[in-house]
């Protein structure tokens, strides 16, 4: 019982932290899917080109919930891959609370947070730029259409059948050129206007369906996160944070690679261990940055659950790992110390 009590406490605490973020994210996604028109979704995706900037800024806030929200938004193709990477790189998880508890100078803490945000923004734009060039080379569509309804199908909640999607714009959208087709065939006829007006009468009823759908998705993912977090917390409690710290100290040359591997652990203990070792002077600033940049909290855990394609998810993980460890290594080579 002495073993499981702290494990359960940590698991419940970790789960409750991301619960509101999950619900709000799914509520927004359900609204985009069922209540907004095609035109609105086009605008959201066009604005996504500036996503890495917003992702880097919002991801810097000391909450692991942003990375969880980003994973869901990317799975629905509401945000771009670059925006997802920007949020993953900038998210701080438990670093800030630990800095505060250790009475680290505010200027030092703010500088590190700002560095993570800037690194996230820069690499986010680079990833999106590379993705667009690759799509152009392969002659693929420049952007993926939103596919929020596919999340419902994968979760087998059947909520996509409950709420009719209201399309305010029937024009076709070419994701290759980024232009809309406004020909006569795409115009809304009087019959369609009447049909949409009739559908509008039922919009108030659909509010409840949207709320219920968001609750179903939140519950599914919350249970998934709780189960895996319980397993991870039990493993870390059994192994011990001291041994995890020893793993990082084992080889100075490989400290960046090892810190990155620890950062991949979807648990707050990873960021705590890495930050503690840095504050104790055991690892370098660059090694700490390697681990914290790679660390995305439960974001990766949720990504593997909601995003279709294991190969794609592995590629995203590899991109995150390579960017984080490479940046940390360069910081050490340049003798950057905060």
pLDDT digits (tens, 9 = 90+) for 42-62: 555 555 678 899 889 888 876
Q: What burial class does residue 273 get, using C-beta atoms within 10 Å of its C-beta: 0-12 exposed, 13-18 middle, 19+ buried? A: buried
Q: DSSP letters of 61-83? A: SS-THHHHHHHHHHHTTSS-HHH
Q: What is the pLDDT of residue 121?
A: 96
Q: How large is the greatest C-alpha to C-alpha distance in the chain, in angstroms? A: 73
Q: Could you give the CA distance from residue 251 to residue 234 in angstroms, rounded to a whole number?
A: 26
Paired tokens of 174: 């070419």
Please tell me whether residue 135 adopts helix, strand or coil conformation. Answer: helix
Q: Could you give the CA distance from residue 127 to residue 83 in angstroms, rounded to a whole number?
A: 9
Q: Could you give the CA distance from residue 260 to residue 291 in angstroms, rounded to a whole number?
A: 4
Least-confidence region, from 70-84, 239-253, 315-329: 239-253
pLDDT digits (tens, 9 = 90+) for 176-226: 444 444 444 444 444 444 444 444 444 544 556 778 877 887 787 778 778
CA-CA-CA-CA torsion sign (32, 149, 130, 138): negative
Beta pairing, strands 179-181 & 172-174? antiparallel
Predicted TM-score of the model (pTM): 0.71
Q: What is the pLDDT of residue 29?
A: 67
What are the start-end ranges of the H helices in 201-309? Answer: 203-239, 241-249, 255-263, 268-279, 285-294, 299-306
| 172-180 contacts, C-beta under 8 A, 24 or more apart | 173/38, 173/42, 173/145, 175/141, 175/142, 175/143, 175/144, 175/145, 176/140, 176/141, 176/142, 177/142, 178/46, 178/142, 178/143, 180/39, 180/42
């Amino acid at each position: 019982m002495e073993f499981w009590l702290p494990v359960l406490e940590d698991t419940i605490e970790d789960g409750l932290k991301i619960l509101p973020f999950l619900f709000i994210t799914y509520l927004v996604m359900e609204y985009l899917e069922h209540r907004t028109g095609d035109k609105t979704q086009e605008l959201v995706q066009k604005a996504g080109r500036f996503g890495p900037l917003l992702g880097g800024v919002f991801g810097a806030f000391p909450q692991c919930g942003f990375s969880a929200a980003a994973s869901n938004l990317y799975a629905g193709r509401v945000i771009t891959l670059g925006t997802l990477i920007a949020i993953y790189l900038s998210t701080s998880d438990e670093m800030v609370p630990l800095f505060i508890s250790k009475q680290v100078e505010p200027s030092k803490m703010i500088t590190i947070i700002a560095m993570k945000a800037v690194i996230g923004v820069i690499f986010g734009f680079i990833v999106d730029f590379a993705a667009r060039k690759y799509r152009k080379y392969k002659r693929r569509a420049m952007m993926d259409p939103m596919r929020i309804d596919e999340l419902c199908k994968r979760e087998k909640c059947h909520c996509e059948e409950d709420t009719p999607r209201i399309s305010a714009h029937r024009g076709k959208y070419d994701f290759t050129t980024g232009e809309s087709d406004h020909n006569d065939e795409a115009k809304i006829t009087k019959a369609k206007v009447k049909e949409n007006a009739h559908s509008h009468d039922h919009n108030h009823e659909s509010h409840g369906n949207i709320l219920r759908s968001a609750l179903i998705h939140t519950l599914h993912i919350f249970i998934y996160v709780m189960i895996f977090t319980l397993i991870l917390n039990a493993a870390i409690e059994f192994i011990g944070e001291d041994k995890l710290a020893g793993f990082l100290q084992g080889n100075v040359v490989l400290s960046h690679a090892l810190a990155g591997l620890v950062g991949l652990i979807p648990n707050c203990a990873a960021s705590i261990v890495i930050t503690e070792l840095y504050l104790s002077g055991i690892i370098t600033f660059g090694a700490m940055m390697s681990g914290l940049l790679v660390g995305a909290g439960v974001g990766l855990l949720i990504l593997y659950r909601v995003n279709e394609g294991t190969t794609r998810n592995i590629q995203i993980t590899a991109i995150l790992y390579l960017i984080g460890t490479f940046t940390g290594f360069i910081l050490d080579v340049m003798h950057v110390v905060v």
